[in-house]
Amino acid sequence: MANPVHRLNPLTQVFLVLAATIIGLFFGPIYWACFFLVALLVCALSGKVKGFLGVFLVGVLPMGLLMFVLQLFFSGDGRVLVDWWIFEATEGGLQNAIHFVSRLFTIATGVLLITQIADLQRFARDLEQRGVSPRATYVIQSTFLILPEMQKRAGTILDAQRARGIETDANLFVRAKAFLPAVAPLILSSLTGVEERAMSLEARGMTLSGPKTSLLHVEDSALDRALRVLAVLAVLAVIGWKVWLWTR
């Protein structure tokens, strides 16, 4: 809880990021660049720059570049900027590409930012404090915690199949043939695992009636409430402004 962003109520964090993302959809690349810099700063305050930039550079940027090229050469019309073989880049195509990619980057920045700064346990606890059923918050939390474990288990199963002579390391065709032996035991054992886990959660009183308590209490301050209202107002204002522009 070292920095002011982390101190905010998780729902406020979601509202702010969501508002910034929605507003970004109405603006161009300059807005995205500003949003990106703010996101980078927030991540820096939380010590999450590496995670944020890593996913952006490896996952989002290449996809954005691909989309940019496709939009540039295969959409829009107007003055021809580049004409090479069967490819033709037009002024309209360039505008489409810039708009499309800046929206893509805005959405990606919002998603990346929230995944880097949000604390799942606080978020789930906050939802419970707001009356959401602990069963529902359990599903959200456990999905994120158990997924990496499923990955590990998939590795073990793949090992078990390789150990009985099933090739998994060669070309695509060979890998495709190994798909069933790798996936079927994972699904079957996951089903058994879900049943066992449900029983052990029963043993820990998950469905016990009566009020539940927690070591964690998530504050929802006046500042949080004000920021959420501001976020909603900002979105409504931008939408209103855009509607006014269109209908003028």
Partner 1 sequence: MTNPAVDIRNLTFTYDLATAPSLQDVSLTVAPGEFVSIIGANGAGKSTLCAAIRGLVPHFSKGELRGSVVVAGKSIPETPLGEMARDVGYVFQNPFTQMSGVARTVFDELAYGLGNLGVPAEEMRERVETMLRDTELEPLRDRNPFELSGGQQQRVALASILVMGQPILVIDEPTSQLDPETTQDMFRLIKRARDEGRTVILVEHKMELVAQFSDRVVLLQGGRVVMQGTPAEVFSDPRCEKAGTRLPESMYLRRALAAHGVELPPHPLTVAQLITDVDAYRAGRSVASSAPEPGAIPAEPPASEALLELDDITFSYPNGVKAVQGVSFRVGRGESLGIIGQNGAGKTTAAKLINGLLKPSSGTVRLGGEDTTRWTAAQTARRVGYVFQNPDDQIFNKTVASEVGYALKRLGIPGDEADRRVAAALEMTGLTEQTETNPYDLPPSVRKFVTIASVIAADPEVYILDEPTAGQDLVGLNRLMKILRELQARNKAIITITHDMEFVSQNFRRTIVMTGGKVVLDAPTDQVFYDTKVVEQAHVDQPAFVELASHVGGAPMGLSMTRLAAAITGGESAR
The reply to whether 138 sits near partner 1 by the rule CB under 8 A is: yes
Name the β-bridge partners of 89: 82
Strand partners, 240: none
What lies within 8 Å, CB to CB, of 60 at 6+ separation is 104, 105, 108, 112
The yes or no reply on residue 177 touching partner 1 (CB under 8 A) is: yes
Q: Minimum distance between the CB of residue 148 and partner 1, rounded to whole angstroms?
A: 8
Report, in Å, the least distance between residue 114 CB and partner 1. 19
Does 150 participate in binding partner 1 (rule CB under 8 A)? no
Does residue number 124 form part of the binding site for partner 1 (CB under 8 A)? yes
| Spatial separation of the C-alpha atoms in residues 239 and 124, rounded to whole Å | 30
Q: Of the candidates 1, 79, 211, 222, which one interacts with partner 1 according to CB under 8 A?
A: 211
Asked whether position 184 contacts partner 1 by CB under 8 A, the answer is yes
Smallest distance from partner 1 to CB 117, Å: 16
Helical pair 91-117 and 61-74, crossing angle rounded to 10 deg: 160
Q: Does 165 engage in binding with partner 1 (CB under 8 A)?
A: yes
157 binds partner 1 (CB under 8 A): yes
CA distance 11 to 109: 18
Among positions 28, 29, 76, 185, the unique one binding partner 1 when judged by CB under 8 A? 185
* C-beta separation of 93 from 74 below 8 A: yes
Query: Which tokens sit at 135?
Result: 């069963």
**Residue 105, H or E segment:** helix 91-117
By the rule CB under 8 A, 209 interacts with partner 1: yes
Question: Of residues 172, 204, 246, 247, which one binds partner 1 by CB under 8 A?
Answer: 204
Q: What is the Cα–Cα distance from 96 to 75, expressed in whole angstroms?
A: 7
Token digits of residue 162: 């390789």
Select the residue interacting with partner 1 from 1, 2, 163, 176 (CB under 8 A): 163
Other C-beta atoms lying within 10 Å of the C-beta of residue 124: 24
H/E stretch holding 191 = helix 179-203
Residues 112/21, Cβ–Cβ less than 8 Å: no
| Interacting residue with partner 1 among 41, 132, 206, 237 (CB under 8 A) | 206
State the amino acid at position 212 in one-letter form. K
**Candidates 20-28, 34-42, 67-75, 146-154; binding stretch for partner 1 (CB under 8 A):** 146-154
Give the binding range for partner 1 (CB under 8 A) out of 18-26, 66-74, 99-107, 211-219: 211-219
Q: How far is the CB of 113 from partner 1 (least distance, A)?
A: 21
Residues that bind partner 1 (CB under 8 A): 121, 124, 138, 141-142, 145-146, 148-149, 156-157, 159-170, 177, 180-181, 184-185, 188-189, 192-193, 196-215, 217
